[in-house]
Structure 1
């Protein structure tokens, strides 16, 4: 069959502007005199229109004269002015809409009510009135600010749409990531609705990780394990979450989560929708439980009663370490106050040398526990980082115990100061009494962290794979047990890596201060199982810190002044407040009706 005849392409020539009073605008020739358009940019079409309709212009403005050139220039300016009447409002409207989205995002980030948008606009106008007083275009600036749409309803819609946009970005990352882990926790909001918070930690091909709020699910009825499971599976079904990428789940250890038969984790492991997953009790919760093993309730209770007496009220102390530190620092003033009061019993207790030593010991030990607690908190901490902190603290407890045996109070400055106040030496201290408490905490740490014992050898190897004492078979077996990878293939890859001169050289060539992710150096085709192990290990959550942090945000967002906030709006605001994603303002404004504020 003969090839079809191609359509001829016509090009507009600049000289036709003066010859025929035509310009090329919006892909069509436009007559400067009558604004008529011609379908094709053909010389004959333009010439016919000019001579037929505007013949007098040929006589009044002769060709090739300055008069004609001036007329063409004037008509072009008039056309541009007419076109700008339609384009300028559209541009201004879009700019006002983008500004509206940006301000709404800031309000959501700072957990402010939707109706604060009007307040921001009012403050902006007041500031601009004096700030731009000497600017020639002050009127235009003030007009632009007034056009920003920040009413309560508009700010609400902006937050809804931005939350959807951020969630879409999250979906794209979930699809792109290699694997992910989840953390679950629940808390009640201001109106006693139980909110199930789920965070996700995604790991990508380049070994980078990202942590985001996955969802906030209200539990309107019961909060049993099956209720949590059903609510989450409803979310999975609705969003088609790729559960085959799931590596582990971290929870707060509540019975509804960890129950052996009907707990959430047990139901996940029974379900065919879930792969074989690891599950962990939050390390921060474990650490807090270890601290409670201290059998010094009498000391703490008396100190609390004295302080509550001084303040004439009961307090819920958020940090026992800080409380005890302040108590010991103000002990002389407290004694003076109690001397003047009628509470002789408490004053007598403050003269008891043994009780004062116990308080000093408890102050020093809780300070150490608080330091560990703070070290475990924060975003971006995986299980390997947190295990390292816990292991360091366990070793520190052993060192503290051995120092107490030798009469060394380096780790107990408050107790040492109390001994000096009493005029006693270290030899007069009953070290065994306090060493027993340190050992009990140390034993509790060992007992509670046994479920992380399977990770530690694998993490140690992955952090330094070139140690001479590595047992290839043992490491391969432990990795297989942890992540269900092929043992024989792992042994081959471990041996290959140990003898890979190039990789070994590149792994040790980094300068101090450079953050080089070693496992990015490994080629997927050569080390598929070791790369998979590194990805899975990087994905593991160590705590439910992000959920606890989100609940702090939730209490501010849905306060007693916003108690009627819907669950959807709470989820949207919480997502914007916690997310590291930036909404696509340009895209959102382009899909909105960009009208200025009335």
Structure 2
């Protein structure tokens, strides 16, 4: 027997005239009597009329129907009902506001690498501000109460940081799942408690040719830091977080054996793993540049410079006397700089400061009855001037390579420009021109025997640097034509040669040469060649190979600068004063400190029960 069709429920609608006729109003889809606040489920005229006539029959005697006095009374009752409701909704709204403020202030503290306990200090500062700035305001007490209710206790700030870090992490992983390709950079360093921390940054290229780079994770290596330990830790992270590793196109590391070892290095183990696709591996360009700069060996200069600086700075009395002398002589600088070999720019800055203060240093040593023959030796002074100029040029290149959003083509350009400059400097030195070597020129003018100075002797050292650059950056030479085509595909090129480079780098199927010819003869694309998002407007259906290669190149890292920058932040976050900071909290604090992603404050606030501070 067929089931009888269900009767369709009837929908009742509230009419505005019922407000004045039966003294009812609508509150959240329910009819509420404005006189007794009783609620009726159905907006049915008969129900409202029955309730009004039964419970409020005498209302019409004092307020006749359709009169002005009745209309005013209804308006008063309606306003009173809304005011009564606001008594309950206003505290909830204010609690949400102070909770969102708590999230924002906690993010500010984490961004500036402050400890969780600084939340109380921040709150005390707000209280002082309210007491002073709002002294003449009528609602001063309300303002002070609102500020006091912001939750900024140490435990609360820690929870806020955890929740915001989790939100940012989810945003990065979401973008990682949506991107077309991504590359990674790895570096490892010790924190203040000797725990090895492996920092991983990601650079993502999206189908519209935009890119993003941010911290992916911080992995904690409790025991050994061999290549297999790094590989196992990262592989576990990939599995636990469902990282789309098939989109990986490049990995950039430093030159440590644990990373680049031929058999047991991290890169070698990744290449042997079938889960990893074919990817390009780069040795950090900045590290290589720093190592190439050491090809010039002027140990006789650096040894004495460091020795003299340490003899002055090591003892407090000598240091004070030296600074007093500089102040008395109105020197250009107030002190010497200590040398730290692990810092990229240290040698150049130390040498330049030493040269600028050389007369004052000689005077100070005379007061101590110390003699160093080298400070009066013409050849040593010339070597000092040349080394100072050369390290200054290497420092300028280093600064050019540093920074966020420094993609691989930019670094190739900077390195090639420096190699070209080496040739120009070499030619000028052979001809006795010292335009680009101001310190060497200054020393040559100061020596007594003008004929003893032969600038061409330093050309040998420039040749060493050039040879070292060519050897270390050979892997970039392979990418040069590819990067040049991606940046400007309408240059006059040898299609056969450049397409061969594409095949060599990306292992592409045949057809890339024909795509190059079609692209270079596309009039519409040629007219938009200067568009900053050129590859975003190129048809992926017509040029699948070239658009894929362009996205890969845009995803490449060229250095591990972001990792080095993160380590500098980590040293501040987990200092000797916060040495017991847990690994989890270190990760959370570091992520918020270096990430360019903004936490979703509103969603985080709505996800928890908002309670004011007690």
Specify the alignment match of 1:342 in structure 2: 369
Match of 2:360 among 319, 326, 333: 333
Please give the secondary structure, in 2, of the residue aligned with 1:33: coil
Alpha-carbon offset, residue 384 of structure 1:
0.9
| Aligned residue number for residue 523 of structure 2 | 501
In structure 2, which of residues 545, 551, 555 is the aligned counterpart of residue 535 of structure 1? 551
State yes or no: 1:149 paired with 2:151.
yes
| 1:587 maps onto 2:603 in alignment | yes
Q: Distance in 1 between matches of 2:506 and 2:60?
A: 86
Partner of 2:166: 164
1:471 paired residue number = 494
SS of residue in 2 equivalent to 1:343: coil
Measured after TM superposition, the shift of residue 163 of structure 1 is 0.4
1:276 counterpart = 2:299: no
User: Residue 453 of structure 1 aligns to a residue in which SS?
Assistant: helix
Partner of 2:19: 17
Structure 2 counterpart of 1:486: 509
- Higher mean alpha-carbon deviation, 207-216 vs 519-528, is at 519-528
Considering only aligned residues, what root-mean-square deviation do their CA atoms show, in Å? 1.6
Q: What pairs up with 1:229-268 in 2 under 5 angstroms?
A: 229-268=231-270
For 1:571, the equivalent position in structure 2 comes to 587
Matched, 1:109 2:97: no
Instruction: For residue 29 of structure 1, give the secondary structure of its aligned residue in structure 2.
Output: strand
- How far apart, CA to CA, are the structure 2 residues paired with 1:251 and 1:420? 45
- Equivalent in the alignment of 1:544: 560
- The count of corresponding residues between Structure 1 and Structure 2 is 587
- Distance in 2 between the 1:107 and 1:483 partners? 44
**What does residue 459 of structure 1 align with?**
483
In structure 1, the partner of 2:327 is none
Q: Distance in 1 between matches of 2:115 and 2:358?
A: 44
Offset at residue 176 of structure 1 (A)? 1.1
User: TM-score scaled by structure 2?
Assistant: 0.93
Structure-1 residue corresponding to 2:573: 557
The residue number in structure 2 matching 1:429 is 453
Look up the match of 1:310: 312
Q: What does residue range 44-123 of structure 1 map to in structure 2 within 5 Å? A: 44-123=46-125
CA shift at 1:484, angstroms?
2.2
Cα pair 2:306 2:339 within 8 Å, conserved: no
Find the aligned partners of 1:5 and 1:484 in 2 and give their Cα distance.
68
Give, in angstroms, the shift of residue 83 of structure 1.
1.1
CA separation in 1, counterparts of 2:5 and 2:439?
Answer: 96
> In the TM superposition, what is the alpha-carbon distance from 1:261 to its structure 2 partner?
0.5
Question: What secondary structure is seen at the aligned counterpart in 1 of 2:467?
Answer: helix
Show the 5 A alignment for 1:168-183.
168-183=170-185
The 5 Å alignment of 1:170-209 reads: 170-209=172-211
Distance 1:464 1:203 in 2: 18
Alignment pair present for 1:389 and 2:414: yes
Displacement of 1:5:
5.0
Cα deviation, residue 43, structure 1: 1.2
After superposition, the C-alpha distances for 1:133-176 in whole angstroms (9 at most, x for unaligned) are: 22222221111101100001110100000001111111111111
Deviations, residues 67-110 of structure 1 (Å, cap 9, x unaligned): 32233223223212221121111001000000000000000000
Q: Which residue of 2 aligns with 1:445?
A: 469
Query: CA-to-partner distance for each residue in 1:429-478, whole Å, 9 max, x for gaps?
Result: 2223211111101100001111222211211222222233x222222222
- In 1, distance between residues paired with 2:5 and 2:291? 82
**Offset at residue 533 of structure 1 (A):** 0.6
Q: What's the counterpart of residue 224 of structure 1? A: 226
Q: Tell me what 2:347 maps to.
A: 320
Deviation at 1:379, TM superposition (A): 0.6
**Aligned to 1:257, what secondary structure does the other structure show?**
helix
C-alpha displacement at 1:408, in angstroms?
0.8
Shift, 1:338, TM fit: 1.6
Q: Given that residues 198 and 220 in structure 2 are in contact (C-alpha distance below 8 angstroms), is that contact kept between their aligned partners in structure 1?
A: yes
- Compute the displacement of 1:11 (Å): 1.8
Over residues 307-335 of structure 1, what are the superposed CA-to-partner deviations in whole Å (9 max), with x where a residue is unaligned?
Answer: 22222359443411111111111111111
SS of 1:280's equivalent? strand
Q: Which moved more, 1:257-266 or 1:53-62?
A: 53-62
Residue correspondence of structure 1 range 334-413 to structure 2 within 5 A = 334-344=361-371, 346=372, 348-413=373-438
* SS in structure 2 at match of 1:8: coil
Q: CA deviation at 1:6?
A: 4.0
Residue by residue over 1:163-220, the C-alpha shift from the partner in whole angstroms, topping out at 9 and shown as x without a partner, is 0111111111111111000000000111000001000000111211111100000001
1:83 and 1:447 map into 2 onto residues whose CA distance is: 77
Moved more, 315-324 or 123-132: 315-324
Gaps (5+ residues) in structure 2?
A: 316-336
Per mean C-alpha deviation after superposition, the further-off stretch among 262-271 and 78-87 is: 78-87
